[in-house]
Structure 1
């Protein structure tokens, strides 16, 4: 009798809690940051809206579409053997939507929603502002100053070596020194599309008396394929850093760099509250607006102006320690939750697949790969001589061959080193502006 009554007393509580516990376990299984049941719900809802012939233009719906697309593409990349170690997640999140849009495999309603949202909100710069301000305010002050002074040396050395190597390789392959330098090597290091390929094409057209559209079509493939090469190499450097830990600071540019506050086991600052996090977010936005005003007044790139203002805030102790800690949380949130949705948006709306494919011939490929590789290898060894972590120095140099701000995001994501964004912006914006200016001057002399 005792045996028969004992069984229900043991199993009843287990039966009682089996349902929520099993469901909670399922909710903890995620595609990116999205719980699996919520992922299925979002997918069903988006399919339902498509079948109705209209997708709402609400910001909430657009965020859901980008999250679903970005984390889905990244998940495929993360599960590929070998390639997952060299940035496949970032590559898939960027180039799968580009191909789907080009091939009309992405529903028109979805593509229109993504393109309209991306172009109307320009949320790439919200991401960059949050990453830059958060990473700068959480740096050690002394190391910050040293890093900004030092980074120009491997960057300048890499630019010169890459220009020489790329031009020599292209010439040896029969492309000609003039074409190789001005139409392949220079566009790779010009700072992307908006700040690089477009100003270059306008300048080239004016100097050579050609149509700007024709010139733009010639330089754009090099920008695209150079960025893809840098993404792959950055992922490879991340893998190299895991094999040889002494070569990397895991996102720190030089030895001795550390956060200026105590971290919890979860990797976030201790004692941060919600009001301070909200204040840090609006601080990042405000500094970006300062950058925009500098652009309006002085025609200076807004992200770079914002970067320098953030450095001034940091060095002058204009921001309280609590706000610095909260800025790091904002940085962590954007790097974790926004990166892949942003890459999906970039791929679908700003990455023309046909222009990328146009550069896929063997001579162009070898020339572009040689240029990017020499740029990064030079950064690696020069950085090491300057007591910088060589892998981080090489990754910053890689951003010099990226597709502007969008390339920086993809490269640093592939390398798993988003905290290098301030240095990446120096590499892309200032390095690119110098390359564009000098190349236009050189072309005018060669004419």
Structure 2
């Protein structure tokens, strides 16, 4: 299954042949002028009808720059990293109008575009997988997460002790928040656990954790790009998107019909993805597990048991591939605008703090990559999903990390890390507080 998000596959012979988003440069320029004029003249409408064009155009421009800037494209993940931090800088330094930033933020959060995107990826990528592969990989995946967590906590703690920061402080205030599953499912409940246990203000605790999350997320994205580069240089350590070393080529049945675009099928895929998402929310009212985790388990169970006819699995996969190819740059721009505070990242850039955060992220890579290798996974893919997708900021970080590493098809395992792994971190935090305090 092809999961590439780059639309321009050949170098243009002249400026007239240059294309962005598959559009001739001249036509793309006209669309850009219209949308940017509305943006800066205060005429951009609210809701998705205004959010989509500005996010798609800015995302495409930043993606094009990132994918063609030497150091960024070769070592830092290319377009995805520039889209996120470039758009965050546009907001942080007031270049993007506040009204526009508010429209994008509302679309991402209140109108749940992020959830819409992730629902498509989870449903389509799981249902599009080979059933045998899903069963074989899932059984061995949780030890990969555990290996990354343990190594990250130990490496950060030892570094903190050697630098005079303190072993316990480094583990509790830096490593745990970074590995905790993001903001909403990680830092917020962690701050409440810390606050009630230590009799401290929750807001104070959260302010200590947010810089670690922001910087850890940034380093995780950069490391994802570097791991992609490393996998290209040393082919034996990377499956180039395949998780298992003995993963066989996809069967004809697995790939049947995925390239024959059917508009009605894509509509069915949209319905399946959003209904599975709603099902996860419904279960979440009665089961104390994150709704994303419940959705993953539900889709995985349906796939494992073969409940859904293959033709409808193909519908879900076609919808997933459309969303991924067409909307990923727009989504990454939304992540930069709505979820990334450039000032928090800059403020956290003290040498000691950066080293401790880096040790946490590196520890997650080493631990998950090593355990993954022992269990028959490719080290690069194990490190990305079991390590970096624990060290980033949850769902937003998963998208950014997988985009930077060019491995968006691994979203189901990334979500297992962020959701199930994040829930495990809350339990671990409670135990560590009792041990240390």
Structure-1-length-normalised TM-score: 0.89
Match of 1:297 among 286, 292, 295: 286
Distance 1:393 1:269, change over 3 A: same
Match of 2:177 among 178, 187, 199: 187
Where does residue 376 of structure 2 map in the other structure?
387
Offset, 1:263: 8.7
Q: Is the 8 Å Cα contact of residues 389 and 401 (structure 2) preserved in structure 1?
A: yes
Distance 1:50 1:325, change over 3 A: closer
1:90 paired with 2:80, answer: yes
SS of the equivalent of 1:151 reads helix
C-alpha separation between the residues in 1 aligned to 2:351 and 2:229? 26
Match of 1:55 among 41, 44, 52: 44
RMSD of the alignment, in Å? 2.0
Offset, 1:440: 2.4
Offset, 1:132: 1.1
Match of 1:221 among 200, 211, 222: 211
1:345-360 equivalences in 2 (<5 Å): 345-360=334-349
Aligned residues: 421
Offset, 1:140: 1.3
Where does residue 111 of structure 1 map in the other structure?
101
C-alpha separation between the residues in 2 aligned to 1:327 and 1:414? 24
Match of 2:247 among 247, 256, 259: 256
1:63-78 equivalences in 2 (<5 Å): 63-78=52-67
C-alpha separation between the residues in 2 aligned to 1:164 and 1:139? 35
Kindly report structure 1 stretches of 4+ aligned residues shifted beyond 4 Å. Answer: 25-28
Where does residue 99 of structure 1 map in the other structure?
89
SS of the equivalent of 1:114 reads helix
C-alpha separation between the residues in 1 aligned to 2:68 and 2:308? 41
Distance 1:263 1:72, change over 3 A: farther
Distance 1:333 1:35, change over 3 A: farther
Offset, 1:337: 1.3
SS of the equivalent of 1:155 reads helix
Distance 1:27 1:290, change over 3 A: farther
Offset, 1:158: 1.6
Offset, 1:167: 0.4
Identify unmatched segments of 5+ residues in structure 1: 1-24
Distance 1:124 1:58, change over 3 A: closer
Larger Rg: 1
Q: Deviations over 1:365-418 (max 9, x none)?
A: 111111111211222222112111111111112101011100000000000001
Match of 1:402 among 392, 404, 417: 392
Identify unmatched segments of 5+ residues in structure 2: 1-13
Match of 2:324 among 302, 327, 335: 335
Offset, 1:37: 2.9
Match of 1:371 among 345, 356, 360: 360
SS of the equivalent of 1:375 reads helix
Match of 1:277 among 250, 266, 272: 266
Offset, 1:292: 0.7
Offset, 1:271: 4.1
Q: Is the 8 Å Cα contact of residues 365 and 383 (structure 2) preserved in structure 1?
A: yes
Match of 1:319 among 308, 316, 323: 308
C-alpha separation between the residues in 1 aligned to 2:260 and 2:388? 36
Distance 1:53 1:404, change over 3 A: same
Offset, 1:328: 2.0
